[in-house]
C-alpha cells in the first residue's frame, strides 16, 4: 500500500469552509502519480502507457484548511488490460476517513490508439504490490 500526505491549502476550500469536492480528485491524482513513480513508471509523456478510464470519490466526512490528510493507495483488481486502485483519504491526526476513491487505469498504446495487454513485467509488479497491501487480485 502506498501512502502520501497532503496539507489542505486555503484555495482548496469553499465558501462553506470545507474542502471543495473537486480538490479531492486532485489529491487522488497526486496519489496515483506517486503510485506509478513508486512502481518504476515516473511521469514521462514520451513513455507513458496509462489512461484514466474512470474515477469516483465518496465524501464521508468534511476536510478543512490546514488539515493534514493521508492518502493510501492499494490495488483491488488486476485484469488483462486494466487494473483498479482504491484510495482512502484519512485525517492524519485522528485516522478518521474523510473520503474514499476508486480509479480504473487502462494500459494504452498511444501509437495505435487502443488498449493493450498489461505487459508481464508490470503485471508482476502489480501482483507483488497487491499482495503486500493485502488487496485482492
- Quickly count: other Cβ atoms within 10 Å of residue 46's Cβ: 5
**pLDDT 10s digits, 70-117:** 999 999 999 999 999 999 999 999 999 999 999 999 999 999 999 999
Query: What is the C-alpha separation between 64 and 87, in angstroms, rounded?
Result: 19
CATH of domain 2-133: 3.10.129.10
**pLDDT 10s digits, 26-79:** 999 999 999 999 888 888 888 889 999 999 999 999 999 999 999 999 999 999
DSSP per-residue codes, 64-120: BTT-EEEEEEEEEEE-SSEEEEEEEEEETTT--EEEEEEEEEEEEETTTTEE-PPPH
Query: What is the C-alpha separation between 121 and 52, in angstroms, rounded?
Result: 20
Give residue limits of the domains in the chain. 2-133
- Quickly count: other Cβ atoms within 10 Å of residue 88's Cβ: 18
pTM value?
A: 0.90
Amino acid at each position: 500500500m502506498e501512502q502520501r500526505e497532503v496539507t489542505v491549502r486555503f484555495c482548496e476550500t469553499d465558501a462553506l469552509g470545507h474542502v471543495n469536492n473537486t480538490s479531492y480528485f486532485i489529491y487522488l491524482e497526486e496519489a496515483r502519480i506517486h503510485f506509478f513513480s513508486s512502481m518504476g513508471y515516473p511521469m514521462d509523456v514520451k513513455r507513458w502507457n496509462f489512461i484514466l478510464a474512470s474515477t469516483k470519490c465518496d465524501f464521508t466526512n468534511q476536510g478543512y484548511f490546514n488539515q493534514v490528510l493521508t492518502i493510501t493507495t492499494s490495488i483491488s483488481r488486476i485484469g488483462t488490460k486494466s487494473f483498479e486502485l482504491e484510495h482512502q483519504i484519512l485525517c492524519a491526526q485522528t485516522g478518521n476517513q474523510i473520503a474514499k476513491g476508486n480509479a480504473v487505469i487502462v494500459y494504452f498504446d498511444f501509437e495505435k490508439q487502443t488498449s493493450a495487454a498489461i505487459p508481464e513485467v508490470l503485471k508482476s509488479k502489480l501482483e507483488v504490490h497487491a499482495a503486500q497491501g493485502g488487496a485482492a487480485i
